[in-house]
Chain A
Amino acid sequence: AAGVIQSPRHLIKEKRETATLKCYPIPRHDTVYWYQQGPGQDPQFLISFYEKMQSDKGSIPDRFSAQQFSDYHSELNMSSLELGDSALYFCASSSSGIGEQFFGPGTRLTVL
């Protein structure tokens, strides 16, 4: 069965650079969620989209923005990167924004 796809899987950036993370949800899933997981931490919710509209917002810094496109894929744009942004970024998808979320493998971002 198709799963959530994230790209890239690994990304290395310098401080103050920008990064774009992509997420392709499971086919026919209309809701996408972004989470940030620091080393040894639990996933922290950043933002979610339902039917291409932002549906909920968590602890997402103002330097970050995200959107969901007409094909339901989502991109997380991160600017002015800081060392503390180094983390595993997960995308998850669900159907109609309820119930079980299916997680992608994550993008490991390292900021040097």
Chain B
Amino acid sequence: GDSVTQMEGPVTLSEEAFLTINCTYTATGYPSLFWYVQYPGEGLQLLLKATKADDKGSNKGFEATYRKETTSFHLEKGSVQVSDSAVYFCALSDPGDYGQNFVFGPGTRLSVLP
């Protein structure tokens, strides 16, 4: 079945450091890819998405490019802030079937220190 693998956390960075969180996937079809963020005590919020190969999703300074050849969707940000501290989930959805559920990665906890 479909699966998502993320780099293990926690990741601890200083403010203004460069962030990369690796995400790779396996899928039988042509999935859409997503990054969700979960702040402490809150629900999941969509951060960005890409629906086909070579698409780049971007939001709030975060970026990720859908790389079909390497089955990857790595999350990057050039300069992190303390407010970026959260858990980040990579996810995929196979749009081929109605009601298709998301498959989430295990999440990567990011802590940004001032």
Binding site for B on A (CB under 8 A): 31, 33, 35, 41-45, 48-50, 55-56, 58, 90, 92, 96-106
Of the candidates B34, B100, B105, B107, the one whose C-beta lies within 8 Å of that of A97 is B100
16 A-B residue pairs with Cβ-Cβ distance under 8 Å, sorted by A, are: A33-B99, A41-B107, A42-B107, A43-B89, A48-B99, A55-B100, A90-B43, A92-B44, A92-B102, A97-B97, A97-B99, A98-B98, A99-B95, A103-B44, A104-B43, A105-B43
Given contacts A45-B103, A92-B102, A97-B97, 6 further A-B contacts (CB under 8 A): A35-B102, A48-B100, A55-B100, A98-B95, A100-B34, A101-B93
Beta-carbon nearest neighbor of B101 in chain A = A45
Give the CA-CA distance A89 to B36 in the complex, in Å.
16
> For residue B89, which residues in chain A have a CB less than 8 angstroms away from its CB?
42-43
Q: Is the CB of A99 within 8 A of B32?
A: yes
**A97 proximity list for chain B (CB < 8 A):** 97-100
Give Cα A28 to B55, complex, Å: 27
Number of interface residues of B (CB under 8 A): 24
- In the assembled complex, the Cα of A103 lies from the Cα of B34 at a distance in Å of 13
- Cross-chain contact of A96 among B45, B98, B102 (Cβ < 8 A): B98
Query: Which A residues are in CB contact (< 8 Å) with B32?
Result: 99-100
Judged by a CB distance under 8 angstroms, whether B69 is at the interface is no
Tell me which of B95, B100, B101 has the highest count of chain A C-beta atoms within 10 A of its own C-beta: B101
A71–B100 CA distance with the chains assembled, in angstroms: 21
Contact of B102 among A33, A41, A49, A106 (CB under 8 A): A33
Q: Given A99-B32, A99-B51, A102-B46, A48 and B101 touching (CB < 8 A)?
A: yes
> From residue 30 to 59 of chain B, which have CB atoms closer than 8 A to chain A?
32, 34, 36, 42-46, 49, 51
B104 CB-CB contact with A under 8 Å = yes
With a CB–CB cut-off of 8 A, which chain A residues contact B49?
100
By a CB distance below 8 angstroms, the chain B residues around A43 are: 44, 89, 102, 104
